[in-house]
Amino acid sequence: MNALLSIWTWVEIGIVALVGFFVQLVIAIFTLPFDKTRYATGRCFRMVGVTAAKLTPYWRFRVHGAVPERVAPNTVVVSNHESNADPFLISHLPWEMKWLGKANLFKIPVVGWMMSLAGDIPVHRGDRESATGAMARCKEWMEKGMPVMIFPEGTRSKTDELLPFKDGAFRLAIERQADVLPLAVSGTRKALPKHSWRFSTSRGMVTVGTPISTKGMTMDDLEKLKTLAREQILSLRASLQPLTRDADSAPDTVSAA
C-alpha cells in the first residue's frame, strides 16, 4: 500500500511541478526584463513547492511560531538539513531568498529548469572552483538586495546529530558584514528518508531564530560565528522535536504559513 501511495505522490508532485513550470515561464516572460532579483519567478517556484506539499497525503507541514514577513536583504539564512523534503517545508516561509543547491538538481527536467528561472545557485560538491563561483553568485544576489539560503552541513544528516558546519556560509556573511539568520526544521527526516523513494507520514515544522550580526567580525571570528549559529539551530530544533516526534498524536499548536 505504501508503495502504491508513494508512486501516486510522486505523480502528484510531478504534475504540480509541470503545471507550475508553465506558470513560472509565463511570469518570467513578463517580469525578467525588469525584475533584477527574480522575485516573481522565485516566489512562484516556492509556492509550487508549498502546493505540492499540501497535496501530498503523507505530509502536514507548518511554520511554528511568529516569523517576520521579510528579512534584511543582506542576510545569509542557514538551516539544519534532514531530508529532501526540507525545501518544501522551508518554502512555507513568507519571503524570497536564493538557494544554494547541488548542481545535479539543476539537471532534473522541469524542477531544474524552475530552479534556474528562480535564480537559485548550483554548486558541485567537493569542487573548490565551483564553490568559489557559487559564493560569488551569492554575493551578487545579496548586492541586489536578495537574501541567500544555505544548508551549512552541506548534505542531509542520516541521524539526529547535526553534521559539522562548513565554512562557506559564514565566510560569506563575514565578508559581506551580513546577518546570519538561523532556521530549524524537524520532522522531515521521516517525510522522505535518505536514499529511499518511499514517503512516510510526517508532521514537519520550521521555525525562525534571531539574526546574528557580523558587524565588526573578521575571519578570526569564523568559528565563533559557526558556534553561535549551531547552538541556536540546536535550541530551535529541540523546541520543535516534541511536536514532530509523533505525527499522529502531537498537538496541533502551529501557525499555518
23-42 per-position pLDDT tens digit: 999 999 999 999 999 999 99
Q: Give the whole-number percent of the chain exceeding pLDDT 90.
A: 80
Would 224 be classed as within a structural domain?
yes
182 has a pLDDT exceeding 70? yes
Would 257 be classed as within a structural domain?
no
257 vs 203, more confident = 203
What is the SS3 assignment for 159? coil
Computed over every residue of the chain, the mean pLDDT equals: 92
Would 114 be classed as within a structural domain?
yes
| Integer angstrom CA distances of residue 112 from 121, 133, 136 | 11, 19, 21
For 150, phi and psi rounded to 5 degrees?
Answer: -135, 135
CATH number, domain containing residue 142: 3.40.1130
pTM for this prediction: 0.91
Element (H, E) at 243: helix 222-244
Would 66 be classed as within a structural domain?
yes
CA angle 46, 61, 91 (to 5 degrees): 15
Confidence of residue 128 (pLDDT cuts 50, 70, 90): confident
Beta bridge partners of 189: none
Would 252 be classed as within a structural domain?
no
Q: Look up residue 164 and give its DSSP letter.
A: P
Closest to 195 in 3D by CA, of 161, 225, 157: 157
Convert the pLDDT of each residue in 143-178 to its tens digit: 999 999 999 998 887 777 899 999 999 999 999 999
d(CA 92, CA 186) in angstroms, rounded, equals: 14
- Rounded to the nearest 10°, the torsion over CA 182, 179, 124, 163 is -30
Count structural domains, the chain.
1
Cell of 127: 569542487
170 vs 9, more confident = 170
d(CA 131, CA 180) in angstroms, rounded, equals: 19
Would 249 be classed as within a structural domain?
no
- Are the CB atoms for 191 and 204 separated by under 8 Å? yes
Which domain does 145 fall in, by range? 2-244
Convert the pLDDT of each residue in 95-121 to its tens digit: 999 999 999 999 999 999 999 999 999
4 has a pLDDT exceeding 90? no
- pLDDT for the residue 126: 81
Q: Look up residue 219 and give its DSSP letter.
A: G
Confidence of residue 186 (pLDDT cuts 50, 70, 90): very high
Q: Report, in angstroms and rounded to the nearest whole number, the Rg of the chain calculated over CA atoms.
A: 18
Q: Which residues contact 213 (CB under 8 A, 6 or more apart)?
A: 179
The arithmetic mean of pLDDT across residues 202-223, rounded, is 97
Would 181 be classed as within a structural domain?
yes
Would 254 be classed as within a structural domain?
no
Closest to 210 in 3D by CA, of 61, 78, 98: 78
